């Protein structure tokens, strides 16, 4: 049995058709902040349940419904979601966290440190500098965690 999570961040008010296609068959979506427009979360909820946090650009009245951080348990794994990894104020090991999801940097990155999986899906919104347009998926299987970064500009 595979449970697939779509991980998206830094949409900044732009939800690309390529992102919707990449997320079309996921079981849950995590948005790592800098949503930019509440309609993005509405659109993502048409695909799957959404866990979303607000980022530093999410300052409107609409953004108050989103916390700055979230804990969510999916397929038996504990996730911690925050926008800027540099602001983490929890001890992930003490909290029993398996996966830390962040955004903010617009740089896609998958890293494992001390048995913890860190996923930054990069930015799926407007391009910044020459950074790629990306999101991530994470498959949870009996064999473990399989994170993948998807470049939305190819195939």
What is the per-residue pLDDT across 74-118, written as a single tens digit (0 to 9) for each?
999 999 999 999 999 999 999 999 999 999 999 999 999 989 999
pLDDT at 120 over 70: yes
Give the mean pLDDT of the chain: 96
Q: 15 pLDDT band (50/70/90 cuts)?
A: very high
Q: What's the whole-model pTM score?
A: 0.97
Q: Identify whether the C-beta of residue 93 lies closer than 8 Å to the C-beta of residue 71.
A: no
- Determine contact, residues 3/27, Cβ cutoff 8 Å: yes
- Report residue 154's pLDDT band, with 50, 70 and 90 as the boundaries: low
Q: How far is CA 119 from CA 17, 85, 98, 112, in A?
A: 22, 10, 11, 9
Burial class (CB in 10 A: 0-12, 13-18, 19+), 18: middle
Which class in CATH covers the domain with range 3-151?
A: alpha beta
**Per-residue model confidence as pLDDT tens digits over 25-77:** 999 999 999 999 999 999 999 999 999 999 999 999 999 999 999 999 999 99
Cα separation of 68 and 3, whole Å? 25
Per-residue burial over 108-124, b if 16 or more Cβ lie within 10 Å, else e, is beeeeeeeebbbbbbbb
Report pLDDT for 65.
96
């Amino acid at each position: 049995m595979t449970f697939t999570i779509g991980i998206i961040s830094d949409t900044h008010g732009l939800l690309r058709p390529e992102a919707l296609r990449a997320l079309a068959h996921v079981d849950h979506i995590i948005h790592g902040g800098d949503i930019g427009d509440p309609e993005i979360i509405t659109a993502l909820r048409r695909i799957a349940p959404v866990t979303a946090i607000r980022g530093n650009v999410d300052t409107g009245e609409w953004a108050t419904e989103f916390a700055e951080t979230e804990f969510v348990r999916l397929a038996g794994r504990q996730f911690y979601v925050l926008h800027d990894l540099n602001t983490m104020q929890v001890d992930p090991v003490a909290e029993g966290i398996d996966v830390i999801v962040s955004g903010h940097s617009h740089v896609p990155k998958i890293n494992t440190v001390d048995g913890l999986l860190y996923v930054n899906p990069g930015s799926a919104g407007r391009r910044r500098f020459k950074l790629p347009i990306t999101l991530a998926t994470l498959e949870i299987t009996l064999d473990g965690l399989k994170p993948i970064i998807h470049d939305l500009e190819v195939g």
